[in-house]
Structure 1
């Protein structure tokens, strides 16, 4: 955000030195990035007076002038047609750098006559493009620096230009008015409120403004306009040219320059249409896919149906909140103008600008959130200036929609400032700060009721008011207070069960070869909906970008975006995990700790000794079970079912439960539709473990140790034919429950299904083969005991699943 010191002082009555202003800006959080002093380029130029003029002996168009520069007189050869006796001039001595020419001058011989300097034009001083004559100074003080003359006669030329960095939560500081208001609250000068003059309409506008039904109230809730007829769009007055050119904006014409002026002056972008080039009314609507517009930057943009545009009956004339069209732009021939002032949604504006690759001052402000209540005052201010500079008669206002600003009273306890920060700010000073910042205040018995101004969308609660008071008071007043030391040395760190489990999980997964990632907690709105499972999305009030507008309800969006980027960069095989917070609501306590992983590509490195295979669901299952086992969870107590979240593949995923209600984790393949929406070609394998559900889990692993028994073990294989929809984990769980003392392991080692199985064992069936380890602790099992146990296994499996021994 650039502005000149003089521009700032148009809103701030202040005699303070610029260094004090700069320090105050930094203290307020409006970080000064740079300060340019134009006077430095004029520092080596001095004022002279022409005391003698004679013709050049060898050139008709040149003159040899004797110039008094104070301490001496110098002969200078000059070709300017306006040079004359007693003329005050700007002189560059030999060795001076000429900014307009980009080089230093030296003593030179011009057509046989030596010249000891240069009398400069505005072009040579980089003031303007005027180079037909040299500068003529009134009342020159010979020998004095040229900057002395500028300070009195043309101070704008040497006005400091300040560039400050604005954080996304301060859209009001993107206007000189807002910066001055902050400084005034800090006690640097007096804020000069400039309310626009009341506009008396002369006629009804022949053009109306309409919000189309396909534009939601969120995209453009408020659209206002005014017609001005009989204007003369001539060159801008000098004050306007000086304001804009001081910050690097080229003057075009009065009607156009005024829109640029309001953007910087009051953070209020507007657009001026040549009314004679419009057909019918102006409508804010969604673009038709494939629709095109030639914008004011000379480029042609193809639009899609997500973009908000302003159009008439024939064509699109503006991309809402970003840039106008060339066809209806104002030119020197414009006689009638229609001025648009609207409020466009920050997120949709940012997304459109990003898609089209357009960066403008208007977009920069709209995507941060402009002041909705300044929509009409901003239009009135423009009208006042336009009539003053270009003439014409204004119409009445035409509008559609309503001001979206909603007043939210905040109960503010003034003692909160000291409680939170330790800084003692007198209550009267607190009220003074908030009042000068534009807050409305109503005193109550135990608290103060505060209403934030419409230009501060970042203010949402009491703690924000504390921040404002301390920001203006100065963070330099925070006192360093050492923490109390009860014991010397490093004490024992007490960690919660969840954090202890988190550290164990992190170490285990890393030992399995997975790489740990840390992704942003902020995601876009569509991802929040896909992975939120119907829960209310948690929206950020001051998002840092259009792709980071919501708190994540799951770790998967960040991991999937990371996998997409890795795949785009040629990394086809990788496995990674993240351990972090997810959010189920905006209130404290509505977050939980999870670990999620993602597996892409092949499970093994290329090798001459073994083949490669892709990651599958069973890899994810093994990571989940291995993690839970490492935490001491008895795997025999777990159950699997297919009631998985909607973003998982319904037939290649499972939920891990402990009992009916406690979900410990989930694993499976990403749903193909989600992969398609996110632009991921191959569906990754994913898993999650919910640490909050592990806390207080009582079912622990019994560490009996299979190899510790001195009695021989027995291994038996069973193959059962059963329905193809019977779930494996139910069979394993059933077998284990038959005799937990003897049956130590149940492993599935073969699955026979598909067309060949249909021919051999019948349609709709499959064969499952299990290896069962039987290990006694206190005796050697006899044949009858083993046969009896095997019979129980066959009977129980048949009872639960209808399976028969193959």
Structure 2
């Protein structure tokens, strides 16, 4: 928010300089982002009156002017400005004057004619970029007076950086309240005397949506002169606040909004057919706004309509249909309280913003609407004349101002300073809070313009702001330090990220909203969760899988000539699940589990002389997944299964302790072709819950006895899985104490007869066993007995036949 310091000081004028005032505001939470002078430094510039203008004898574009600068004798000035004319009052740089940039004015001779000074344009004085002619001053300006005094150029522009909760400070009055509370200086409100009611004209208003409009007030004013000139003082304040002058009626409405924080709207009464209706829009209704944009309204957008004609978007922007023009003579001035929730986000939906919506969506004072209407009425009559009718004021559904409790002891504990009760009372009085105190507990009713006071901490913050953050002691907080031991069996997100990084994967963070075709092709999700207001048209749905984003990361790197890519992401996915209920961290009907996904593309190893180059394959990434699982890798089973994103026959579902936890496999050839990749990436995606728990390591004494190694080869059916065989062997070992000498089992060979492969014949599998006793050396008889029992278990469970 930008405003001139002089305007603020008409409300409250503390005995502080500009820098000190800026510092006090900043320390109170109203950050002064910038202060800059209205005009750059210059001196020796005065108001001059052009008496005569003659053509230069030797130059077509130059004129010789006789100018009265108030010194008693006219000066001769040579000027090339096209608008130089007798009777104008313009800035004059006298001899010795210093212009912005340091240029000093001296006596000059131009084409043989002497010039004793310089008449100035606005750009030459640093006031604007206009250099089409001389800066024309008001006809009432005093000749010889310093231009800085005439135009109040020693003023300072303040630019505040406000937090969204302080909507009450989006006006001069709001900032002045803060200054008054901080300094104790009296607050002078602008005059808002009730206008004399000279006509009895009224406009019927029907408020049909109490959840949209809580209060609506307005009045008819007839006989206004819309072509009246906006006063210079008002134009100056508007321009210095960043608003350009449009016309008298529009300027007055903008002025009131900046002055009191009250957005109002002025209708052309003659363009309204019948009365006004405040309601929600109907599907398909359209409105041409004042900015020239035509929008199609949705049912959750509030409007003001006259009959079937939509006149304006409630609390956001007026419509062109009833906009005032220079020919307007009769007007209806409206001021209302619009519920913030009804206005919030609507302007951004239609890709524009307005000063009114910026204020209403944060909360505007609902108590002083009539006073503000009287203020704008007085300004309109002062500038444009007119006869005012009575004010119609409807209070439909105003916010309930519930008392907020603040314990004085709690305030002391939070601030670390024992602020006396009398000091707290003074602070609340300075903020115009209605309060009472019993047993050191304050009960405060927030004012109608403070929508940010809701909980105890808000009141403590107010005490701290006005008391002064600089007065709070700079002491570190004291708290007992309790050492917390992280459970060794749990692994959090950071541990999982470190584990992936240790395996040469680089982390990526992708958007949670993706393209709709990604969901269909990579996840087989025909009904993804759609965004109501996507940041981009192609990012319209929430992801239910992380794979597509990782493949896109690979394509991005490949297009930039990266020969080898290994990436991972740990994040949430979103899909519909009717069993999910509302909670603190959940939304009804939407599952939001965390997944860990990885993708590898290119050579399995970095290019080197010690190993031949080969492309990464299924088993490379499977090993990474097993490493990630650690001791639980023995319970991992890769079961052949089909997935929309995986190669048929080269993709597997991941089972952990018999529960499905994710997927692993090569990318589908169709998707590889779409991505224009030379080789298929290998991808995996696992539920984080399956990775968070790791078994506690069990230390044991190392045996000094030698290890016996035995191989076992057998025939089994083509559909028998290695994991099923391993599970059978594990269960057999756990159920028989004599088999405890089996320390490890690994598969080292699988062979099929090529002539029988198409018919699905049996396959040969070879396992290697490591056996060791902790106390004694194993003899051959004991080893062979153990191997026989293991083979029999496979024969009984899977019909295995030992190979000769």
Place the TM-score, normalised by the shorter chain, in its bin.
Answer: 0.5 to 0.7
1:689 aligns with 2:688: yes
The corresponding residue for 2:499 is 508
Deviation at 1:511, TM superposition (A): 0.9
User: Over residues 54-94 of structure 1, what are the superposed CA-to-partner deviations in whole Å (9 max), with x where a residue is unaligned?
Assistant: 9789599966537567699853357954459xxx9753135
Task: Give, in whole Å, the separation in 1 of the partners of 2:155 and 2:281.
Answer: 44
Contact 1:634 1:701 in 2 (8 A): no
Q: For residue 220 of structure 2, what is the aligned residue in structure 1?
A: 228
Map 1:608-623 to 2 at 5 A.
none
Match of 2:486 among 480, 490, 496: 496
- Change in Cα spacing, 1:57 to 1:467, as seen in structure 2 (3 Å) is closer
Q: Identify the residue that residue 29 of structure 2 maps to in structure 1.
A: 29
1:307–1:352 CA contact under 8 A, matched in 2: no
Root-mean-square deviation (Å): 6.0
Q: Give the Cα separation in 2 of the matches to 1:481 and 1:791.
A: 75
User: 1:413 is matched with which residue: 400, 407, 410?
Assistant: 407
Shift in Å, 1:24: 1.0
Q: CA deviation at 1:635?
A: 4.7
Q: CA deviation at 1:658?
A: 8.2
The equivalent residue for 1:710 is: 707
- Give runs of aligned pairs for residues 184-223 of structure 1, distance below 5 A: 184-192=180-188, 202-211=200-209, 217=211, 220=212, 222=214
The 3 A distance-change label for structure 1 pair 410 and 700 is farther
Give, in whole Å, the separation in 2 of the partners of 1:459 and 1:720: 74
Report Cα offsets for 1:670-711 as digits up to 9, x if no partner: xxxxxxxxxxxx9996445359964xx765467899999611
Mark the CA change 1:193 to 1:146 in structure 2 (over 3 Å): closer, same or farther.
closer
- Decide whether the 8 Å contact of 2:248 with 2:383 is kept in 1: yes
Q: Name the structure 2 match of 1:744.
A: 744
**C-alpha contact (below 8 Å) 2:616/2:682 kept by paired residues:** no
Q: Deviations over 1:708-742 (max 9, x none)?
A: 9611133456745779xxx9978865552231433
**CA gap 1:17/1:331 in 2 versus in 1, 3 angstroms:** same
In the aligned structure 2, how far is the partner of 1:413 from the partner of 1:430?
A: 11
Q: Deviations over 1:729-783 (max 9, x none)?
A: 788655522314337347799999xxx99x9689xxxx99987554322335555
User: Do residues 11 (structure 1) and 11 (structure 2) align?
Assistant: yes
**Which structure has the larger Rg over C-alpha atoms?**
2
Where does 1:267-666 land on structure 2 (aligned, <5 Å)?
Answer: 267-278=261-272, 281-285=276-280, 288=283, 293-298=287-292, 300-301=293-294, 303=296, 305=298, 308=301, 310=303, 312=305, 317-319=311-313, 321-334=315-328, 335-337=330-332, 339=334, 341-343=336-338, 345=340, 349-350=344-345, 352-353=347-348, 355-371=349-365, 381-383=375-377, 385-386=379-380, 389-390=383-384, 391-394=386-389, 397=392, 402-403=397-398, 405-481=399-475, 496-497=486-487, 501-502=491-492, 504-516=495-507, 575-578=567-570, 585=584, 597-599=596-598, 602=601, 626-629=627-630, 634-635=632-633
Q: Partner of 1:169: helix, strand, or coil? A: coil
Supply the distance in 1 between the matched residues of 2:368 and 2:715 (Cα, whole angstroms).
79
Structure 2: give runs of 5+ residues left out of the alignment: 515-532, 536-541, 575-581, 587-592, 640-650, 666-680, 735-739
Alpha-carbon distance between aligned partners in 1 of 2:291 and 2:394, rounded to the nearest angstrom: 28
Separation in structure 1 between the aligned mates of residue 601 and residue 26 of structure 2, nearest angstrom: 53
| 3-state SS of paired residue (2:164) | coil
CA distance in 2: counterparts of 1:394 and 1:93, whole angstroms: 53
Does residue 1:181 correspond to 2:193, yes or no? Answer: no
CA contact (8 A) 1:346 1:366 kept: no
Shift of 1:352: 4.5
Q: What CA deviation, in whole Å up to 9, does each residue of 1:484-508 have, x standing for no partner?
A: 999xxxx999763479955643432
Q: Which residue of 2 aligns with 1:537?
A: none
* Distance 1:346-1:508 versus aligned 2 partners, 3 A rule: same
Per the TM alignment, residue 45 of structure 1 is displaced from its structure 2 partner at its CA by 0.6
Q: Per the alignment, do residues 238 and 132 of structure 1 end up closer, same or farther by CA in structure 2, a change over 3 Å counting? A: closer
Assess if the C-alpha contact under 8 Å between 1:635 and 1:701 holds in 2.
no
CA distance in 2, matches of 1:33, 1:244: 20
TM-score, normalising length from structure 2?
A: 0.68
| Matched length | 705
Taking the aligned partners of 1:563 and 1:269, their CA distance within structure 2 comes to: 51
